[in-house]
Structure formats: structure tokens, C-alpha cells
Amino acid sequence: MAHIPTGLVSHSRKVCNFYKRVLRHIESTVYCLDEVRYESVLMRAKFDENKNIKDLRVAKQILLDAEKELADQRHWSYKKFPESVGGCAYEREVIPPDWVLDYWDPVEKAAYPKYFAVREQRKKEFEEFYRQVYGKPPPNHH
């Protein structure tokens, strides 16, 4: 859930995000690099026409209309970067958590004696640090 935006977003940030989405739309629909650049320059000119609007209500309405137009024209195979959410390589490499090493067999740990000796020392240091910061846990009264 780290991809959910929180807080208020300024109008200028919304316009910048919309501009990036428009450029991705152009890249999805046009395949020749020269045409992509040409369409991008034309789109930038459209954005520059409205950059000096001082009335925020008018600017907001223009942005809403443009977002609706983009949603109506959105390409069926929208361009996504491989590592981004929805991309073909998103979360492809799963990094196992550290606690998995606690369940290794002693024979497996014997292959890396220095690593596991240092790891055990660091675990003890962390436990001492934890006790100094938070104190000892209360005894369980069952």
C-alpha cells in the first residue's frame, strides 16, 4: 500500500502529473520517434497556452476537462515501465526477509561460518540495544 498518495496536492503538481500521463499516452499511440517528439512539442505548446491563467477555478476546470478527454482516448495498451506497478518486472525479484536465515539447517550454516558468526554477534548487540531503549519485557502472568 505504499503507492497510495497522501496529503494535499497542489494544482501545479497535478498539472505536472497530468503532463507526464499525456506524454506516456503519446508514446503509447505513436510508434515513430520523430512523430512522438513532434506530438510532444505540440502538446507542450497547448500546456504553455494556459500557464498564465490566474483564476484557479478556470485552471481547475481546464484540467478536469483535459483529464476527461485523456480518459476517453486512453490507449488499450498504456505504456508502463517494467519496474513500476503493473509493469512486467514489478516485484519480480523477491528479497527474502532476514529471519529466514534463522531456520537454516546447521549443515547449511557451516558453509558460511564467518557470516553466521558475525550475524549472531550483531543479533546479540541488537538485543542489548533494544533492552537499553525499551527495558526488559514484563514477565507473563498466566
Distance of CA 110 to the CA centre of its chain: 39
pLDDT above 90: residue 142: no
Distance CA 79, CA 90 (A): 14
Average pLDDT, the chain: 89
pLDDT of 105: 95
What tens digit of pLDDT does each residue of 42-76 get? Answer: 999 999 998 888 899 999 999 999 999 999 988 78
For residues 12-39, give the mean pLDDT.
Answer: 91
pLDDT above 90: residue 132: yes
pLDDT of 65: 94
Query: What letter represents residue 105's amino acid?
Result: D
What tens digit of pLDDT does each residue of 9-21 get? Answer: 888 999 999 999 9
pLDDT of 35: 93
pLDDT above 70: residue 116: yes
Which residue, among 5, 41, 49, 10, has the nearest Cα to 23 in the 3D structure?
41
pLDDT of 9: 86
